[in-house]
Structure 1
Amino acid sequence: MWPSSVFRPLQRLFINPRQTAVLEACMIGLVSGLAAVLLKQGVGMLGGWRVQMSHQAPAWLVLPVVGLLGGFLAGWFIERLAPEAAGSGIPQVKALLANVPLVLNLRVALVKLMSVVLVLGAGMNLGRQGPTVQIGAALAAQLSQWIPTSPSHRRQLIAAGAAAGLAAGFNAPIAGVLFVIEEFLHDFSGITLGSAILASFIGAVVSRLLGGRSLSLDLVVTSYQANFSLQDVPFFLILGLLAGLLGTLFSKGIFVSLAFYQRVLKVGLPWKIGIAGLVTGTVIMVLPVAFRDNTGLLEILSTGSVTWQITLLAFVVKFLLTLLAYGSGAPGGIFAPSLILGSALGYLVGMSAHGLEATVGIPLGVPEGISSNTTYALAGMGAFFSAVTRGPITAIVIVFEITANFNLVLPLMIGSVVAYMLAHRLVGGSLYSHLLAWNGIHIDEATGAQQQPWQHLTAASLMQRRVETLSSTMPLSEVTQAFSRSHHRGFPVVEQGKLVGIVTQSDLSDSSRRPATAEPVTLADIMTQHPVTVGPQAPLNHVLYLLNRFKLSRLPVTEGHKLVGIITRADIIRAESDQLSGNGQQFGPQPEPSYPILQTRSPATGRGRVLLPISNPASAPILLKMAAAIASNRDYELEVVQIIAVPRANSPAETSVRTTQSRRLLRQLVHLGEAWRIPIHTQIRAAHDVAQAILEITAERHIDLVVMGWKGGTRTPGRVFGSIVDTLIRQSPCPVMLVKLGDTVQMDRWLVPIAGGPNAQQALQFLPALVQLGHQPEIRICQVISPNSPTLITQPLQEALAQLRQTTDCPVVARPIWGESVPETVCQLAMRKPYDVIVLGASREGLLTQVMQGNIPEAIARDSASTVILVRGALDTES
């Protein structure tokens, strides 16, 4: 295989697919035409040698043995080198153009060509025109790999290759284009038509110049003149009906043959094709000599130079032997056999029409009589082809282009349309779609696309909206710390909310990027400016193309210059994997499920559960006391968990992690919690995403409250609390309590700013349990009131005071305070008074909204040495 670097100069010269379409179409048509000529010459040489040997040596020995050996060798090559080359190849091309991930490349084309020569040269009743479709498409697919292009343009190149293959096989360029549009693409866009027409034309010209005519119809084409009269119309209608019935029977027979080989003849592919060749050779051995040459038989039937008995025998034998060969998986098509069967059927109908004319005395005053048998034979070719493939337009054009006789158009239209309508009524749908469905691949008949739920996805469907970013003014030391704390290998760089660059680990380690200056180096000095981006509405195939074209692992999603998300290769793979397995209900970046490494269970005697994720051994004991106090007060159980983050490249279930320190810490916490006499469960989990693992445990263990530590701030722009806490605040269905421990942990003086609402109520409900941790606790409740307020509204303050006096024994004081801004007033009060603990229970309309949009908890935590607790109630209780 040629390396893609050979074609990089061309790739740089031609960036727009429309600029390269003409050159690529010419190349595809040329190589497809040459491949079709080589295939025809190879089949002719091997087939001629077989016929000659059958005259020189005993036919009963030569024909079966050659059929067996040719079939076995073809099957062996396919099984060992390219299993995708089995069959006609048209269903594989149809599936690939419907975005089914099948292999189609130069290797498949070469194996297909070699195996078709062996099979057809050995005498099997299949055609080479179907395989040329796959060969042309495979050569085009290989070209699109050598010259990288977008997925949509690659699809059009493959379609052009298929059209060129069929055009070269039949010497019918128009039919090649129409077949691809009728069967594969259902697309009449400019690039599709232009590429397909040009490739088909060149393929047909090359095949005609170097290989002669496709079918052995020289006598018909050079000396035959078609005629047509009104008396023929009823007989062409009858021909169409017979072709529709027998074509439907032929189509059904294909699946019967496939089922026979799959369920009865349970041997390898080489033996299946070998046995088919052996049976074919044995049958042909006892038939007239004309049956030994498939191509010559078509000309004999079309010209009407045989008796009706031989014609009927040819129809029955070819009908059965074609089904026998196709069902075995032999590489060959049904185009040529369909034409032979159609010509035999048309010839029989023509002879019957002439016999009826002689007997009854038609034309009954009409000047012209019944048309010649050749006209019926050629019309029968199109009718039977149309019934089998369900492609009436292609059928009409193929026969017309072969004969170049305009007088045949009306007979072809009558027979082909009637046959198609009947076959479609009896079977419905494309034969190749049914063959794909037999193999479990379902294609939408209306669009020619595979029925996949992610087919119409955009970048917005899969992108991660909460993006960890870095500031362009950040020093390199902080950038290094950011990489060390994160599993990401790259960060978008923003400046005043706009994307200005991207930085990766390789950028950070590349010393050549750092300027030679004495001034401090910032991130703006080493980042990659003007990164490749994509819009939210960009289709998924364009996202994949950009990731592959520029060798990227992540792609920022922007609206103008504003960063709105990021999408990675892992996000796309994971979403498609979820859909294939039936687990993906929502699209988006979903990490693998966490994996429990260690679990201990106590008696499940509580009425609920408190979840305590721990990571810092220094803060774990005090957090345990808070969680245990609430659990004891509410008769809950306590679930203590430590989550070990593993790289995204490794599966949590298959990654080896060290748990010695985690086990020791959990044992210490269990001993501390025994004094509270509450059930304590413990577990250690490996996970890609810590926040996602906590959400999984919340759902699995039916958690009623999550208590966890909080550092009090984050340096990541766009984050409020940090990546883990932000996720829990937004997604955890149960209440969440965040605890930022102060410099000196005491629990005596409590400040509770309230503004009403469910979160404030939730915080008040936790206070009776928490204040028990103090020696002489006292609580101050405050409500911020604007000086411009016409009335003094203290109803929430009075209700909170009454509630706490009923549920606690410690002193409770309620005082309103005045201030223009709620956050500023709370911060000033926290700085003036030495409170041990500040509890924030905010309503969605008040403080919580500002928390999610600003930095209220950070301001309090930064300016106060007190312990800060933030309570967010259950999501289903917030208004």
Structure 2
Amino acid sequence: MQPHLIPQRLYQWVKSRHFGMSATDPRYALVEACIIGFLSAVAALILKEGIGWLGGWRVALANQFGAIWVLPLVGLSFGYLAGWLIEQTSPTAAGGGITQVKGALARYSVPLSLRVAVVKMIGTILVLGAGLTLGRRAPTVHIGAALAAQLSSWVPTSPEHRRQMIAAGAAAGLAAGFSTPIAGVLFVIEELMRDVSGLTLETAIVASFTGAVVSLVLQSTNLKFPSSLLDLPDISFAVSDIPFYLLLGILAGVLGAFFNRGLLFSLQIQRRLKLPLSWRIGLVGMISGVIVSFLPPFFLDNAGLQGFLVMGELNGRTILLAFIAHFFLTMLAYSSNAPGGLFAPALVLGAALGYLVGDFEHLVTGNGVQSAYALAGMGAFFTAVVRVPVTAIVIVFELNTDFNIVLPLMLSCAVSYIVAESMSRGSLYERMLGDQGIFINATPTAQDFLSTLTAARVMQSNVETLPSNLTLDEVLQAMSTSSHRGFPVMENGKLVGIVTQSDLANLAQHSGQTALREFMTPRPITVQAEAFLSDVLYLLNRYQLSRLPVTEGSKLVGIITRTDIIRIEANQLEGNDGDLNEAMPEPSYIAYQTRAPLAGDGRILLPLVNPDTATSLFRIGAAIATQQNQEIECLQVIKVPKHSDPAQTSVITQHSRQLLQRAERLGRHHQIPVHTQIRVAHDIAQTILDTIRERHINLMILEWKGNTRTPGAVFGHVVDILIRKASCELVLVKLGKRKDAYPQELDKDATWLIPIAGGPNSKRALELLPGLTHLYTRSRSPIIWLCQVFSPAKSAPNYQHLEAIAKGLKEQIDRPVIPLPIRSQSVADAVVHLASAESCDVVMLGVSREGLLEQVIHGNIPKMIAQKVESTVILVRGSLEQSP
């Protein structure tokens, strides 16, 4: 299914370039942020010029034919036209726009598109050109977010990526409107998203910077901030001014809180009237025109009035009149849901209030710099209305760029915020959203679990893949023997495509020798392991897919299907959390971690407990990692009492860090990527299981001391749990009685004993053997005894299978491999006797989960061998998961 807004060729080009979830790659995201910043700057300029032209035309008509006739008529006609346009084409374009963007970023279904942006722009030009005392910066934020949403909808992506692009568009819109790039980013963090994740910051910064720079380039040639608005001289601050700045903060907080209450009350009255939006805006425009026509002439031009107030070119009585008129006219205009914002009115009202306080100080003390009070008042009133003190401080500072204003500005904004919050708590925009049934800070309900569970929690880790060099006949054979209808395609350990039954439907004319890479779907859409299930479901539905590969970086770590999500949904609806409760981790806290490059095809987990044997265990892991091109994850778990919070319990990590740093040095020596982490937890076994899931572990190496003091345990409480529940492959190692028994013994004529029984785990043990023998043999060749125990009751045992395995193994490792059939009633006794007679250094065998636990309970093979053999014993158990 292709997006209806994109032409067919563009859509196919986008798919062929493997955007999709990979579009969240920082490279693509930053390019997209640059485009968003540029478009937002162009939109901001069009908005500014359009409002200026239409407002100038209105003032000229008023001067020519009389304000009492022109202003009400223009307000009525343009307001009605703007409301009608919004009602007929895009109702979402009504209002200031901040609530819509905030709702969309909170993952509510709020339309944001190119249509919204265009209608918002035209409606704002009509309304502000008609003389309503609103601002254009909030609509610019809305337009920037809508343009970003439209742009992100043209490529296959996730809701989370789209959300972050919308935030970047909002930042770019504010930056372009005010020419304040830093404030754009801060407003996104402080009000819209409250999210400081890396990608959000990066995209918001790039989009905001681009929007501000392009806006400056389009308005001037020297890249200097416009000085007509805030070029205020003689900014200073003295200790004697502090009481008056405190007074300014208190007044701004009180008046700002009343302003917000008045806005909310006016909105309620307007909703009760149930008038169409066109008539609401039109009537408010007419009433505003009538009121302004009786005010002094400079009220005709909103932009001119703002300049007069900020620059202090009016006397105190006129400034007070302007403050009162602007206060109520803005409240009236905003309550009509007209497309216009509160940013500029809040700054203008703050400037007027600041000048009044400055006049008061001058009257009392004969001192005071009124321009400084105007700037501080702008930030304080903006803070009281919007409740974003940091953004307010930065906006005013970026507009003036005078460090002398920072301290009085911070003082006034802090006091204003405290006072305003004391009178009416919470953001104005959140309260407006609450009236619409959208609650930003509500606790997620049970139905929101798709937005809290990640793909890594639900995916199947062991994936049945196909190499890209298979032929069509071989692919058909693989599909006929599998219960699955799709397979990821791998090449050199990397995901290069996906093949499904639908790909084979149109291959009747192709030769059976056609290579898989020629008919697979290349560069498939994938999801990252940390993606939420809501994002996964979005992609599955949008592109009509039945499965998605799950990746970590470029590495395939699992696959997730519709069936997996349906299973989780069914469990939730039935009130049976099932696997979710099983996967819920006990409280744990990562106290220390290091990360190496993701350069391997898989990952080996090495829980380190005993510093004396850690090096030997690491070398076993290094042998397997080298053979299979894998990374090593070293884990130290520090257990704390259950009544203690792991995140708040003081622990000493010095010795653990030294041990992990030793492992990192060994990794550099063997040229193997080594990740490390120290976790503080209540339950060691559960923490290891969590690590297996979170870090996508393929194989785990555990040490067993050869005995256990835990009553009822087979190998020990922790090891038994891991044997039963760890989904990855498991290598259980009992080192020889000498602490250096492994791997130093392999530096001489090491003798290996490999009992086989023909099962899959025996085969897996043989696959690991070449790497283990090659890495640590430095002198003469080791001898490998490959034995199979036959029952004496069997008259004619078949030795051909044993000989064939020995021959194949010898070709792989180029070492002496001696096949040895043995007749014995007890497999364990035969293996122990042979290991002792031949002084074998290492005994290695593969066992199933049942063989490793149930057989031990009945006194059978693994534990008896491990206990009675004095040399090193390696037990290999395969993965528990079924391939999807």
- Relative to the length of structure 1, the TM-score reads 0.57
Let me know the Cα RMSD of the aligned residues: 4.9
Q: Residues 12, 428 of structure 1: CA spacing in aligned structure 2 closer, same or farther, 3 A cutoff?
A: same
**Aligned counterparts, 1:569-584, within 5 A:** none
Equivalent in the alignment of 1:12: 17
CA distance in 1 between partners of 2:356 and 2:262 (Å): 22
**1:453-477, CA deviations, whole angstroms, 9 ceiling, x for partnerless residues?**
432122366679999999x999999
CA distance in 2 between partners of 1:13 and 1:500 (Å): 11
**1:444-502, CA deviations, whole angstroms, 9 ceiling, x for partnerless residues?**
3999x9994432122366679999999x999999999999xx9x9x56699xxxx9998
Q: Residues 197, 152 of structure 1: CA spacing in aligned structure 2 closer, same or farther, 3 A cutoff?
A: same
Equivalent in the alignment of 2:374: 377
**Aligned counterparts, 1:147-186, within 5 A:** 147-186=155-194
Which deviates more from structure 2 when the two are superposed, residues 458-467 or residues 108-117? Answer: 458-467
Match of 1:85 among 84, 93, 99: 93
Q: Is the 8 A contact 1:216 1:295 kept in 2?
A: no
1:58, distance to aligned residue in structure 2 (A): 2.6
CA distance in 1 between partners of 2:226 and 2:499 (Å): 67
Residue 100 in 1 paired to residue 104 in 2? no
Match of 1:509 among 502, 505, 508: 505
Equivalent in the alignment of 1:54: 62
Q: Residues 86, 578 of structure 1: CA spacing in aligned structure 2 closer, same or farther, 3 A cutoff?
A: farther
The amino acid that maps onto 2:397 is F
Equivalent in the alignment of 2:454: 458
CA distance in 2 between partners of 1:577 and 1:208 (Å): 55
**Aligned counterparts, 1:269-348, within 5 A:** 269-348=277-356
1:81, distance to aligned residue in structure 2 (A): 1.1
The amino acid that maps onto 1:432 is Y
- Aligned partner of residue 273 in structure 2, secondary structure: coil
Equivalent in the alignment of 1:398: 395
1:381, distance to aligned residue in structure 2 (A): 0.7
Equivalent in the alignment of 2:249: 240
CA distance in 1 between partners of 2:92 and 2:446 (Å): 18
1:433, distance to aligned residue in structure 2 (A): 1.9
1:164, distance to aligned residue in structure 2 (A): 1.1
- Aligned partner of residue 231 in structure 1, secondary structure: helix
**1:830-868, CA deviations, whole angstroms, 9 ceiling, x for partnerless residues?**
xxxxxxxxxxxxxxx9xxx9xxxxxxxxxxxxxxxxxxx
The amino acid that maps onto 1:509 is A
Which deviates more from structure 2 when the two are superposed, residues 451-460 or residues 529-538? Answer: 529-538
1:335, distance to aligned residue in structure 2 (A): 0.2
CA distance in 2 between partners of 1:71 and 1:295 (Å): 19
CA distance in 2 between partners of 1:501 and 1:201 (Å): 37
Residue 352 in 1 paired to residue 360 in 2? yes
**1:764-804, CA deviations, whole angstroms, 9 ceiling, x for partnerless residues?**
xxxxxxxxxxxxxxxxxxxxxxxxxxxxxxxxxxxxxxxxx
CA distance in 2 between partners of 1:578 and 1:258 (Å): 43
CA distance in 2 between partners of 1:575 and 1:457 (Å): 10
Q: Is the 8 A contact 1:99 1:450 kept in 2?
A: no
Equivalent in the alignment of 1:418: 415
- Aligned partner of residue 135 in structure 2, secondary structure: coil
Which deviates more from structure 2 when the two are superposed, residues 100-109 or residues 192-201? Answer: 192-201
1:57, distance to aligned residue in structure 2 (A): 0.8
Equivalent in the alignment of 1:75: 83
- Aligned partner of residue 59 in structure 2, secondary structure: helix
CA distance in 1 between partners of 2:537 and 2:295 (Å): 57
Equivalent in the alignment of 1:798: none
CA distance in 2 between partners of 1:587 and 1:119 (Å): 56
Q: Is the 8 A contact 1:215 1:295 kept in 2?
A: no
Q: Is the 8 A contact 2:179 2:225 kept in 1?
A: no
The amino acid that maps onto 2:382 is F
Equivalent in the alignment of 2:656: none
Contiguous gaps of at least 5 residues in structure 2: 490-494, 581-849, 855-884
1:308, distance to aligned residue in structure 2 (A): 2.4
Q: Is the 8 A contact 1:138 1:158 kept in 2?
A: yes
Larger radius of gyration: 1
Q: Residues 78, 479 of structure 1: CA spacing in aligned structure 2 closer, same or farther, 3 A cutoff?
A: farther
1:388, distance to aligned residue in structure 2 (A): 0.7
Q: Residues 232, 12 of structure 1: CA spacing in aligned structure 2 closer, same or farther, 3 A cutoff?
A: same
CA distance in 1 between partners of 2:225 and 2:293 (Å): 22
**Aligned counterparts, 1:635-784, within 5 A:** none
Residue 553 in 1 paired to residue 553 in 2? no
CA distance in 2 between partners of 1:80 and 1:173 (Å): 35
CA distance in 1 between partners of 2:236 and 2:142 (Å): 37
Equivalent in the alignment of 1:210: 218
Q: Is the 8 A contact 2:135 2:342 kept in 1?
A: yes
Which deviates more from structure 2 when the two are superposed, residues 6-15 or residues 171-180? Answer: 6-15
Residue 437 in 1 paired to residue 434 in 2? yes
Equivalent in the alignment of 1:567: 561
Q: Is the 8 A contact 2:36 2:147 kept in 1?
A: yes
Q: Is the 8 A contact 1:104 1:142 kept in 2?
A: yes
1:426, distance to aligned residue in structure 2 (A): 2.6
Q: Is the 8 A contact 1:152 1:541 kept in 2?
A: no
Q: Residues 230, 102 of structure 1: CA spacing in aligned structure 2 closer, same or farther, 3 A cutoff?
A: same
Which deviates more from structure 2 when the two are superposed, residues 129-138 or residues 370-379? Answer: 370-379
The amino acid that maps onto 1:58 is G
Contiguous gaps of at least 5 residues in structure 1: 363-368, 590-844, 850-879
Equivalent in the alignment of 2:236: 227
Q: Is the 8 A contact 1:87 1:329 kept in 2?
A: yes
Q: Residues 422, 97 of structure 1: CA spacing in aligned structure 2 closer, same or farther, 3 A cutoff?
A: same
Q: Is the 8 A contact 1:91 1:433 kept in 2?
A: yes
The amino acid that maps onto 1:20 is Y
Match of 1:64 among 57, 68, 72: 72
Q: Is the 8 A contact 1:217 1:299 kept in 2?
A: no
**1:19-58, CA deviations, whole angstroms, 9 ceiling, x for partnerless residues?**
2233222222211111101000000011111111111113
- Aligned partner of residue 313 in structure 2, secondary structure: coil
Equivalent in the alignment of 2:262: 253
Aligned length: 575
CA distance in 2 between partners of 1:37 and 1:501 (Å): 45
Q: Residues 524, 97 of structure 1: CA spacing in aligned structure 2 closer, same or farther, 3 A cutoff?
A: closer
CA distance in 1 between partners of 2:431 and 2:224 (Å): 28
1:132, distance to aligned residue in structure 2 (A): 0.4
CA distance in 2 between partners of 1:45 and 1:468 (Å): 65
Instruction: Give the percent of matched residue pairs that are identical in Structure 1 and Structure 2.
Output: 51
**1:311-347, CA deviations, whole angstroms, 9 ceiling, x for partnerless residues?**
2221222111111111111111000110111111111
**1:139-170, CA deviations, whole angstroms, 9 ceiling, x for partnerless residues?**
11222122333443333222221111101111
The amino acid that maps onto 1:567 is T
1:73, distance to aligned residue in structure 2 (A): 0.9
1:558, distance to aligned residue in structure 2 (A): 10
The amino acid that maps onto 1:85 is A
CA distance in 2 between partners of 1:524 and 1:402 (Å): 58
Q: Is the 8 A contact 2:40 2:173 kept in 1?
A: yes
Q: Is the 8 A contact 2:18 2:524 kept in 1?
A: no
Residue 428 in 1 paired to residue 407 in 2? no
**Aligned counterparts, 1:812-851, within 5 A:** none
CA distance in 2 between partners of 1:527 and 1:164 (Å): 41
Q: Is the 8 A contact 2:157 2:539 kept in 1?
A: no
1:575, distance to aligned residue in structure 2 (A): 8.1
Which deviates more from structure 2 when the two are superposed, residues 200-209 or residues 283-292? Answer: 200-209
Q: Residues 20, 305 of structure 1: CA spacing in aligned structure 2 closer, same or farther, 3 A cutoff?
A: same
1:194, distance to aligned residue in structure 2 (A): 2.9
